[in-house]
Amino acid sequence: MKISYNIKFDGGDADSNRIEANAASHSLEGISWALSVVLHYGVTGELRERGDLSRSAKIYLLPSRKGSFIQDLNIFVQENPFLVATVGAYTVNTVTPYINGLVRYTFNQAIGQGGDFPTGAKRVLRRLKGEEVDKLITRIEPPLTRAHAAIGKTSEKIIFRSKRTDLAVLDEHTKAYLEAEPTGQFETIDTNVTSLNLLTDNGRILDPEYSRTEAFSIMSNADAGTKNVLINSMEQYDLGRQGTVRIHAERVETTGHRLKKYLISSAEEIPTQEWVDGVDPMREKRV
């Protein structure tokens, strides 16, 4: 089964139907390797970031064409037991939305654009193991970082597309997100955990200042008991309670000071002497 994609370099030299070879080749390698890793998992259910990938999914480059600068790709997906068990049947109408949905979701999570499972693939993608998808996203960050090599050098944008649907758009903002680094600045935040993957130690907390969730990872050297406190916060929140705890975390930011995530070094329940009117902020019911 064939699924067609194209990579469009837009802006900069690409507008003259040419791009600088070295930077563009690094971008193509990064995108194709990230795509290979996602395809390997989507078809076989195996997580891999190096070594030989499954013969059940192969990627082929086609001749470049004009229109800014466009590189066409074809992937060929063979029938595989895991793939059939996941999508239900080996047909174009089941495999293509599933593969495209997985690529779109993982790529956009990795480059900081977020988003839920695409509507057309949501039911099938929910069958995958959440902790494995989280690991997959982490594993494609390095090649997607390399995929930005042409940004700012010979092109302003790189658009990865299936037919007329944009699966991912790489630009200076997504490049900065992937290159974000720990700042050395720690914050103390009273917040609640909205999700936590117990295998990867990644999750999301509510940012009380902006009323939105932000990503976090638990540091490998976090204080003893930190993970249990975060689990309790998530469980209380799921029960309809506030789930508020106090975390100490380092910010990971882009050069433009955009927050990528928090690295949590410790977490604790709010001390009783700080409770307002004697009400436990962890177990108080949400209004």
- Using 50, 70 and 90 to split pLDDT, how confident is the model at 49? low
CA dist., res. 113 & res. 126, Å (int): 20
Instruction: Give ∠ CA 236-199-219 in degrees, rounded to 5.
Output: 85
CA dist., res. 214 & res. 194, Å (int): 10
Residue 55 has pLDDT above 80, yes or no: no
- Tell me the longest C-alpha to C-alpha distance in the chain: 70
For the segment 41-60, the average pLDDT, to the nearest whole number, is: 81
- Using 50, 70 and 90 to split pLDDT, how confident is the model at 64? confident
Instruction: State the distance between the two ends of the chain, measured CA to CA, in whole angstroms.
Output: 52
Residue 106 main-chain phi, psi, to 5 deg: -70, -40
- Using 50, 70 and 90 to split pLDDT, how confident is the model at 53? low
Structure tokens at 35: 């795509």
Residue 95 main-chain phi, psi, to 5 deg: -70, -45
Q: Return the pLDDT at 208.
A: 83
Name the percent of the chain lying above pLDDT 70: 97
DSSP single-letter state for residue 88? S
C-beta of residue 137 within 8 angstroms of C-beta of residue 106: yes
CA dist., res. 38 & res. 54, Å (int): 11
Side chain identity at residue 163, one-letter code: K
For the segment 54-71, the average pLDDT, to the nearest whole number, is: 80
DSSP single-letter state for residue 50? S
Q: Return the pLDDT at 210.
A: 81
Q: Return the pLDDT at 69.
A: 84
**pLDDT tens digit sequence for 232-249:** 999 999 999 999 999 999
Which of 1-10, 205-214, 262-271 is least confident?
A: 205-214
CA dist., res. 45 & res. 54, Å (int): 11
Residue 62 has pLDDT above 90, yes or no: no
Residue 164 has pLDDT above 60, yes or no: yes
The pLDDT mean for the chain works out to: 92
CA dist., res. 218 & res. 198, Å (int): 10
DSSP single-letter state for residue 15? G
Side chain identity at residue 91, one-letter code: T
Residue 149 has pLDDT above 60, yes or no: yes
Q: Other C-beta atoms within 10 Å of 268: how many?
A: 13
Which of 2-16, 43-57, 84-98, 251-265 is least confident?
A: 43-57
Residue 54 has pLDDT above 80, yes or no: no
C-beta of residue 17 within 8 angstroms of C-beta of residue 66: yes
Structure tokens at 36: 């290979």
CA dist., res. 207 & res. 244, Å (int): 11
For the chain, which residues make up each domain, given as ranges? 2-177, 180-274
C-beta of residue 281 within 8 angstroms of C-beta of residue 266: no
- Using 50, 70 and 90 to split pLDDT, how confident is the model at 114? confident
As a CATH number, domain 180-274 is 2.40.50.320
